[in-house]
Structure 1
């Protein structure tokens, strides 16, 4: 996933109350990290493939995954946000709910007023 696209998806998820962060997994490799209950985290689209999928990790060990979502290679940013928001992580092989849960209170953007400074002024 492109860095700027990942950043916009993270911002949209945080506006829905989902604790999402920009995942930097390698040199020019970015994705979306969603923090889950029980010390788990879902790393979305960090492998550079076209489809949208995730690994669910706890303490560095894989405890579940989200299989590639059908047709996700053509998703726009809003569809990506909706797909991540609709995911039910309760089973080792996660599934998509038919509707997203109601949005929670919005979370502040990571970095606050120093965000552009911390990120090196690489975006608008």
Structure 2
């Protein structure tokens, strides 16, 4: 969304006591950053025809997202402000990110019997 529209939305959100800020996502693209707590924030974006959605980020790392809001492609500014201001950012309501990799943890590999001693092992033996 353009900077003028994002600025108007941020002002309206701040009037509703939402800690919202302008989030510059590109050269001519802006979004809305909502501070949730000291380390967690929601980055809302209205990317043209894609509609309204948000990424939940903790210290710059994606931890979840608010999925696409149905019908948000045609939302007015007031409807966008209402949606952002009333969204519940609970762990149960967020969807964890998926990167396509396996979600199962790999078991730790057993120590190798044929592993050669390391030079650090020799240093430790010398100090004993």
Return the TM-score normalized by structure 2. Answer: 0.68
Specify every segment of 5 or more residues in structure 1 that has no aligned partner in the other structure, as ranges. 96-124
Which residue of the partner structure matches residue 34 of structure 2? 34
CA distance in 1, matches of 2:38, 2:92: 14
Number of matched pairs: 95
- The Cα shift of 1:93 comes to 4.3
Query: For the pair shown, which has the larger CA radius of gyration, 1 or 2?
Result: 2
Runs of 4 or more above 6 Å deviation: none
Unaligned runs of 5+ in 2: 96-128
Q: Are 1:56 and 2:56 matched, yes or no?
A: yes
How far did residue 2 of structure 1 move?
1.5
Provide the secondary structure at the position in 1 that maps to 2:68: coil
Partner of 1:88: helix, strand, or coil?
A: coil
CA contact (8 A) 1:65 1:93 kept: no
- Partners of 1:26 and 1:39 lie apart in 2 by 23
Q: Which residue of 2 aligns with 1:13?
A: 13
Structure 1 position 3, deviation (Å) = 1.1
In structure 1, C-alpha distance between the alignment counterparts of 2:40 and 2:62, rounded to whole Å: 9
| Aligned-residue offset at 1:49 | 4.7
Q: Secondary structure at the match of 2:30?
A: strand
Instruction: Select the structure with the greater relative contact order (CA < 8 A; seq sep ≥ 6).
Output: 1
